Structure 1
């Protein structure tokens, strides 16, 4: 591969990641609009998964290995990953119903902070002082977003709770994916998660679902299609460029949430939201960069100290 070809491949990866961030932003905005009509998290789960599944299946069939990629040697590992992922998405969607779009999206990006903590507690990874500082910075950002002492202008604590629970569960999913990807094809991981989400959503729908107007139904269907595309763009970006290169573009979702929240919902972001988002993004970006450096250094000097 020539230097020019390599640069073009990385540029394509970045473009795909930006497209994924845009699709995730649109999905969140659409679901937030639907929540104003009383649509709850379980309904969102079903429509997002059920109507995203055809998009994922088309992608699977278009690949050279086709349906063979869906075979698995660890079905129970997929069950565990799906359980964590479904719980995470339910918390994400519940956060959307309780908080302004920008605040809900910002809290979701505390996941790298919790991933660092879980890596330390579960995987026994060594964490250096600079990465601990990044964790602390992320928590300071959360406190600023919460706006303690702001009275009626404070963010509802129950919304913050769901947002942080979603981040913890997302971090747990990240840990399981590290182990699952050693033996499972990425197409299998994505496909079976969408299948599991559809099944759980279908089971919950009779108990919590309601008949929706054509406009709201269109929003929910759109959330599934756009969410499926977002997943595929994100996956494809990792096939074109290293995660350390494309991951920073995920934070465009915060900008997207601010724009859509202001434009569609007439909710301008507060200074606390913007300041907290800046700290949380800085924490996540630094953590991603240090992880990249640590992995790179380990290939050269396996005994290098944690940083």
Structure 2
């Protein structure tokens, strides 16, 4: 959803940063509910269903204040469908990583998304990638390896919740990076809200078909968890989109790393867990790598704009 801000929307950098920070806080709280919902014995498919179902009415209400659902009209329904299936897979993997791992560890692995995105952009889009970004990628990979602690994983044979969770979280990061490439393509012709709308709507089809096979009766407390999950998911989506309307991508993207602080705090407060020692060592490398990639992209964008206006 990284599109340039619309020229009709006045820029407000502090507002964009505030919305991005709100999105990261909401995301961490949403993952707290993901873990609570799993502990209550609710199937992950049902979690995904309500995560998407509650977003749609909000998107519809937003559209009605701006001329109706026609603003979501598209000529690229096939691309949206492919993005929705990829997004649903990525969301399931990210939920799974959070369920099996401590929050801070799963979040740290997910922060490797920009590293994989650089690789995939070079492979699939042919984007030029100089030695500086490749160096940042290598530093980031070193951080990922430290967090994954492959020696321990191999010794354990990838068994148990931790080994399985590590593989799932890594798969989620790789899938999210692939989704980033897909969204870059969609963003050439589609608004961020249109991309979110079709993702939510199309993903409801497989989730709706699977729901009767996994749904169970719930008490008031469990319904509160599921509704809270959907509401927080809506806040995340709308805050991310609003941030991109108020400020450039390069300004708001570095705020994503605040999610690591929130996840450490939430993991300690709600579950009494703290990151493993390897996470404390690897996380700074991943964050530094991602921040450098964001800064480099910003500099390249400025240079491209100078060439266009020269």
TM-score, length basis structure 2: 0.89
Mark the CA change 1:180 to 1:115 in structure 2 (over 3 Å): closer, same or farther: same
Matched, 1:196 2:202: yes
SS state at 1:253 partner: helix
Alignment partner, residue 37 of structure 2 = 34
Instruction: Select which of 184, 192, 204 maps to 2:190.
Output: 184
Matched, 1:47 2:50: yes
Alignment partner, residue 89 of structure 2 = 87
Q: Superposed, which structure 2 residues align to 1:17-166 within 5 Å?
A: 17-62=20-65, 64-150=66-152, 156-166=162-172
Alignment partner, residue 250 of structure 1 = 256
Superposition deviation, residue 186 in structure 1:
2.3
After superposition, the C-alpha distances for 1:168-199 in whole angstroms (9 at most, x for unaligned) are 11111111111111212322211111112222
After superposition, the C-alpha distances for 1:225-278 in whole angstroms (9 at most, x for unaligned) are 111111101101111111100111111111111111100011122232222222
Q: Superposed, which structure 2 residues align to 1:193-232 within 5 Å?
A: 193-232=199-238
Is the 8 Å Cα contact of residues 101 and 165 (structure 2) preserved in structure 1?
Answer: yes
Superposition deviation, residue 91 in structure 1:
0.8
Number of residue pairs the alignment of both structures matches: 296
How big is the alpha-carbon RMSD for the aligned residues of Structure 1 and Structure 2?
2.2
Superposition deviation, residue 218 in structure 1:
1.2
Superposition deviation, residue 9 in structure 1:
1.1
Alignment partner, residue 233 of structure 1 = 239
Distance (Å, rounded) in 2 between the aligned partners of 1:219 and 1:274: 31
Distance (Å, rounded) in 2 between the aligned partners of 1:80 and 1:252: 30
TM-score, length basis structure 1: 0.90
Q: Which runs of 5+ in 2 are unaligned?
A: 1-8
Matched, 1:266 2:269: no
Matched, 1:295 2:301: yes
Alignment partner, residue 3 of structure 1 = none
